[in-house]
Structure 1
């Protein structure tokens, strides 16, 4: 790939398209691995200057596990996750002394978010990832593909652009700007994003099994608890390393 200062398009090739991916998070890296396995050309443009995932723990729902297995990642996932034996929703009792089970959720695989991100990253060739390149604007042509302008003043060409750059996606906003000028943007999409809840995230250090005996059995519990007459709830995941 070459960095261009001009706005010229390359000649598209339907049989061998080039994919531009905005964002090097979980979604962008997973897409990159899919394309890598299919021998389809791609480039990742990440706004941050370092790939350091935020967050603490996450869980993989059953519907995503077949994809990870097809990509050949399942055994690696098992090494950084725990098999879970509890995945319920509980309600705090009025006196706060007990919990009532409201229902069970589908099976999930809890794991450390940074470790999951690092695993995906290890399967993407480093030369395919370009850091410090936030997508500022896009332009497209039905005959020639798409061109993006990044924060370092460069332009990059491709056949397809995929926005994996988060809730406040620059790709989405650029598309909305184009659609607004054309009069095709739905009014609901033009509204400000609403904050419905706020979360505080964290991961403990390794906990002494004598303090948390349940951590010794090698299984995970991923439960959610609803506070009684309180404006908050909490949930927890157990991940490898007694965390």
Structure 2
């Protein structure tokens, strides 16, 4: 690749990671295209905590005000065990004093929609499933289920736990005898997370709040 050549980035997956990367590349005027196997992505999940590690980036992207207005400002997070015993209280005030950035809770669907707006529609291809990935010299090509192919310089796997890009990498490493032992194991599921939301509760009826 010549020093003045602007690389084209192929992003597989239009979830939070893929869209966030696309938004950053869009801001930087770096060519890219996003492929998503689903015809329509339903942004699931409950909420995300966003603070001093991400907010400066959102400022550079020009979406800081929208993120802050959409999220809910928090100074503390109180966690409790099943027995209602307090567990790992978090106090964000010192971080805000040190960095100048507060902590916000934002619904994942809201964050997803903000990021989706940062990426031009013609650069996100929904219903495009990647079947194969081939490499030649310093180029990479994705082969899609609709018989289309796209060529680029860099490919990014943002397609979740069962990533097609990761599997392609694993196949190459396995053929060379370089695949780590841990990566040959099935994906472990060692915990269950149940998350819910509630309206404002009356402290007289619910003293824990």
Category of TM-score, reference length = shorter chain: 0.7 to 0.9
Q: Give the corresponding residue for 2:103.
A: 108
Match of 2:119 among 119, 124, 130: 124
Q: Aligned runs of 1:92-107 on 2, under 5 Å?
A: 96=83, 99-100=85-86, 102-104=88-90, 106=92
Alpha-carbon distance in 1 for matches of 2:89, 2:26: 40
- What is the match of residue 53 of structure 1? 43
- Match 2:13 to one of 23, 27, 30: 23
TM-score (normalised: structure 1): 0.72
Residue aligning to 1:68: 58
Q: What is aligned with 2:23?
A: 33
- Flag structure 2 segments of 5+ consecutive residues without an equivalent: 93-101, 204-209
Name which of structure 1's ranges 181-190 and 127-136 shifts more when overlaid on structure 2: 181-190
Contact 1:91 1:102 in 2 (8 A): no
Tell me if 1:171 matches 2:161: no
Query: Using the alignment, how far apart are the partners of 1:76 and 1:139 within structure 2?
Result: 40
Q: What is the total number of aligned residue pairs between the two structures?
A: 193
| C-alpha distance in 2 between matches for 1:152 and 1:84 | 46
What stretches of structure 1 of length at least 5 have no aligned partner?
1-11, 214-243
- The CA distance in 2 between the partners of 1:91 and 1:56, in whole Å, is 19
| Shift in alpha-carbon separation, 1:132–1:115, aligned structure 2, 3 A | same
Q: Which has the higher contact order (CA 8 A, sep 6+)?
A: 1
Equivalent residue in structure 2 for 1:81, among 31, 48, 71: 71
Structure 1's 100 and 17: CA in aligned 2 closer, same or farther, altered over 3 A?
Answer: closer
Counterpart in the other structure of 1:157:
151
Measure how far apart 1:142 and its partner are: 2.8
- For 2:91 and 2:157, locate their aligned partners in 1 and report how far apart those are by CA, in whole Å: 30
Give the alignment's TM-score, normalised by structure 2: 0.83
- Partners of 2:78 and 2:86 within 8 A in 1: no
Change (3 A) 1:101 1:195: closer
Q: Distance in 1 between the 2:171 and 2:81 partners? A: 44
